A and B are shown apart, each in its own frame.
Chain A
């Protein structure tokens, strides 16, 4: 038996099988290690700031923050407790001159956000909630950090609106953020009115190239 010849292919087959099993097991271990590492980093990324997260912040931003970005804090720690609406006033060149001298007119203002909320309340199976998001998010971003990106987005939305309502003579648009705070719990059921604040952003040239909205035809 000892001198019995074993076919070479059979031997090779066995070796190949052993190598294959080792490679597969190696891959299996790698995937488990990935799973553990990935979700440890994910948990650190999504949980509130702690010393470990603080130390690893650049690494977390470069990994999870870049390739698996996520934020689950829309209603927490503080729930959204105010309505933010984008209110605009289309202005012709003549109206702008008058506005520069006497201030902005008190009439002819349009609330772009509230009609979309009302439509969404009437029909949950629609895109109205989504369509209100760019304006609302731009407002929230602007209030958080007043830089150019959210303003540009608001100008585009306002420009599309002006096109939609047929105000083709308007060359400028005044932007205002309307903020209506929720009534405090203690004041529920009372006739006390909620606090309303307005935040003037500025007057900007209308972007004539912007696409039609097909949403606000009046």
Chain B
């Protein structure tokens, strides 16, 4: 019963992950803005009335609403307008203005583009779209609230939903990897490194080294498999740090920049407000020590003491 009350209070009393939410908004905003800027010149070719796009929103929204939304791509001007609106939503998320409205705009435009040309999208867009759905229920950035309000409860439910979605993603991916022969044999990354779509010219050489390929393949697999347990244990912060490094590696070696940006945002989202405060104060302390030591070293060097 005690656990039940504890969980109830956690959900009801105060909104959680407010810093994490902000970091996630910034990452998603930056990622969407990057997409808009890099894809804008090709918008007509990709989604326009005479472009590659062929999909419709009708299977999800129904024929009536679907037909209305599908009109967004009946002219080139409208297609560009969808991207323009997406940029506004992305800017709202990036700078923290009207975050709920910005979330809604980003969700609708991403959904429209995704439905129009499903072949264009990757896992990063998939997890972004799912996260944006849950983010609609988060408290806006500058919202005032009082403890116990329903909106606080909904915020915390949304926080849990985003965390559970990330867990489901990692668990499914890790589970599938564990059943794959090449992952079990520790050579999966060697094969991926040869695929031009997902590699850098030098990466192939790195992954021909037995130690590197085995360790990297197993780390990628076990990181995902153990993620649900690790983030509720004492190794949570190192695990998140490892995840960030893992996704930086994906961005550089595999070129999945937008996917990695969102995943890093989701990893940072999991850090609680108290942990951010601790990290900040510890960071400040380390900075103070480092700058003191640096100044001390400089004063020891003859001739520099006067300048410092």
Contacts and interface: CB of A to CB of B under 8 A. Distances in A.
Interface in A43-83: 43, 46-48, 66-83
B173 A73 contact: yes
Interface residues of B, number: 71
**Most chain B CB within a 10 A radius of its CB, from A66, A80, A136:** A80
A152 interface: yes
B191 A76 contact: no
Contact of A127 (B42, B60, B198, B200): B42
Contacts of B133: 68
Interface stretch (A4-12, A92-100, A182-190): A182-190
A39 B201 CA distance: 40
Contact of A126 (B38, B183, B192, B195): B38
27 contacts: A28-B11, A28-B12, A31-B153, A35-B160, A35-B164, A39-B161, A39-B164, A42-B168, A48-B175, A67-B60, A69-B126, A72-B172, A75-B177, A75-B188, A76-B179, A79-B191, A124-B257, A125-B34, A129-B255, A134-B119, A136-B197, A152-B54, A160-B52, A210-B50, A213-B42, A213-B45, A214-B41
A131 interface: yes
A38 B161 contact: yes
A167 interface: no
A121 interface: yes
A80 B76 CA distance: 35
B194 interface: yes
A27 interface: yes
Contacts of A189: 208
**Most chain A CB within a 10 A radius of its CB, from B59, B208, B252:** B208
Contacts of A27: 150
Nearest to B160: A35
Chain B interface, DSSP helix/strand/loop, else mixed: helix
Contact of B195 (A32, A82, A149, A210): A82
Contacts of A194: 194
Contacts of B182: 78-79, 81
Interface bin, chain A: 35 or more
Interface in A107-162: 114, 117-118, 120-121, 124-127, 129-134, 136-138, 141, 149, 152-153, 156-157, 160
Contact of B168 (A43, A79, A136): A43
**Most chain B CB within a 10 A radius of its CB, from A75, A82, A121, A152:** A75
Nearest to B207: A188
Contacts of B183: 76-77, 79
B169 A31 contact: no
A195 interface: no
A146 to B, nearest CB: 16
A135 to B, nearest CB: 8
Given A70-B168, A124-B251, 8 more contacts: A46-B171, A72-B176, A80-B191, A82-B195, A83-B195, A114-B196, A124-B257, A125-B257
A215 interface: yes
Interface in B150-193: 150, 153-154, 157, 160-161, 164-165, 168-169, 171-173, 175-177, 179-183, 185, 187-192
B120 A46 contact: no
Nearest to B39: A127
A35 B12 CA distance: 15
Contact of B181 (A48, A78, A132, A214): A78
Nearest to B220: A75
B51 interface: yes
Contacts of B180: 76-79
A16 interface: no
Interface string B75-95: 010000000000000000000
Given A46-B172, A137-B119, A182-B191, A120 B181 contact: no
